[in-house]
Structure formats: C-alpha cells, structure tokens
Amino acid sequence: MEYFTLNNGIKMPMAGIGVFMMSPAEAENAVESALKSGVRLIDTANGYMNESGTGRGIKKSGVAREDIFLVTKLWPTVYEKETAIEETLKRLDTDYIDLLFLHQPTDNWREGYRNIEKAYKEGKVKAIGLSNFPEELLQEAIDTMEIKPHMVQVEAHPYFPQTELKQKLAETGMGLMAWYPLGHGDKNLINESVFTELAKKYGKSNAQIILRWHVQSGNVIFPGSKNPDHIRDNFDIFDFRLTEEEMEEIAKINKNIRYYNGTPEMLQQYAKMELGPDL
C-alpha cells in the first residue's frame, strides 16, 4: 500500500472502497469482503443511507478499528444539527471518524464546518474535508476557518484530471480524493488505446492502469464494487509503476470532460432533502 500524508500529519491509504449506491446490506457485505482482502480505506456518507451497514461490515471483518481509515460525509440538512456527528458515530458504531467531509456546498456549510471543527478538537474527527466545493468556497474555508481543511473530494479521472485545482491544493498540502475515478464507467475512456497498450505491457486490465495513474498522480481513490473479485482487482495496483513517459502520454487524453454538473439550484435543493432510513 502507498499512503498520502495529510497536512496535519495523518497518513491515509491511497486506495480503498466506496459504498455509494449500495443498500445497507450490500455495503455490509462489500466492506467486510474488502477489509478481508486487505483494503483499509472505507468511504461512505450520511446521504448514502448505509452507514449502519458499513459499520456492521467493519465489525464482521475482524480488522482492528485502528487499522482502518474511515471516511464519511455530513449531509446538508444536518450541518447545523448539534447532534449530527454523534448520530453519525452511532450509525457507524465507532468512537471516531478518520476523515469527515461536508458533502455539498450549500448555504449553511459554514455552520456545518464549525460543528466538525468542534468534533476535531474533541478527538471525534481526525481530519476535515470538503466535498464538491468550488474553488472560491474552498479558498474561503482556507482563509477564514480556524482549522484549515485537509482534503477535498471531487470528480477526477484522465478525461478531467483537475490539474488547476491540484496546483492550488499543493500550495496548502491538501489532498484530493477522486470520485468517478474510472469516468463513471465510460467505455470510451476505459478503452483509450494508451490504456490498452499499457495493460498488455504490465499484465493488468485497462481499469487497473487508470487506477494506477490516479495513485501516481497523488489522487486517493475509492472505486465501488459489490463483487469480491472486482474489489480485489481494484486494489491490485501496487506491484507495478508507470514510467514518467507513460504518465505524460496519459496526460494527452485530457478532454476537460466531467460526467456530473451540479447547478446552484440543485445544490440548494440538497439543503432541503431529508434523509431516509439507514437500517
């Protein structure tokens, strides 16, 4: 495994599993399988409504909690709720969260951030992150919040490598977690000839080449899968290394294409969406 060191000194694995779009039972099984396969980074969220299943999967795996890097996100409707973090801990059945994000940049994000700061000081949260935040709000958090953010989570892949954002993050030592690391499964991206050629060279799949590109680019990745074989394959990217020339070839396919575009109106709707049951 390779690790990214956050700007507060905490190390986190560069690769893990995400449980987006999984039921609590599916998340439970996927997390248990992943941890038994050697994965140590788990990404979930209030909004996925499967934190309870994620917590059960952690317990069933038998892996010690201190060996797991657990990531979750607060949903906008609970940003201002004083008990939101305690309720999140209860669902996950844990005493602390390694990295806690604000999930969306809604109008009340500052109140949510201050709640996370309080939990950080109390040791219930080990690092603070911002998910899907535009650069101007990210800069506001850096400039005005008492505890500077440690990580951002955004869409990133070879068609949209977030080059400018990463230059900004490098100035502050913040890291990047990439969602849609395989371009939302776009076959045009996955089957780019550069990946096909490199897959043959290294005896890997095209997807593994892309995930390896992420890690060497400094991106933390958490591809989701319910299939134990796919989970193992997604994690089997640490026994080879792309050359600088190969990384440069991959950089040439940047199309500045993203697969998700949340409008300001959509983001404000998130602030009103109540969460369903998490059982």
**Annotated catalytic sites, by residue?**
48
Spatial contact of 88 and 74, defined as CB atoms under 8 Å apart: yes
Half-sphere exposure at residue 88, Cβ-oriented, CA atoms within 13 angstroms: 31
Specify the DSSP class assigned to residue 99. Answer: E
* Residues 74/41, Cβ–Cβ less than 8 Å: no
**Closest CA relative to residue 229, chosen from 212, 210, 205:** 205
Tokens at residue 125, please?
A: 């949260």
75 contacts: CB under 8 Å, gap ≥ 6: 45, 46, 47, 103, 104, 270, 273, 275
* C-alpha angle 167-171-175 in degrees, rounded to nearest 5: 75
The dihedrals phi and psi of 24, each to the nearest 5 degrees, come to -55, -40
Three-state DSSP state, 221? strand
Q: Residue 55: CA atoms inside 13 Å, Cβ hemisphere, count?
A: 20
| Calpha distance 216→238 (Å, rounded) | 10
Instruction: Report yes or no: 91 and 51 within 8 Å, Cβ to Cβ.
Output: yes
For the residues of 55-81, what is the DSSP string, one character each?
HHHHHHH---GGG-EEEEEE-GGGTT-
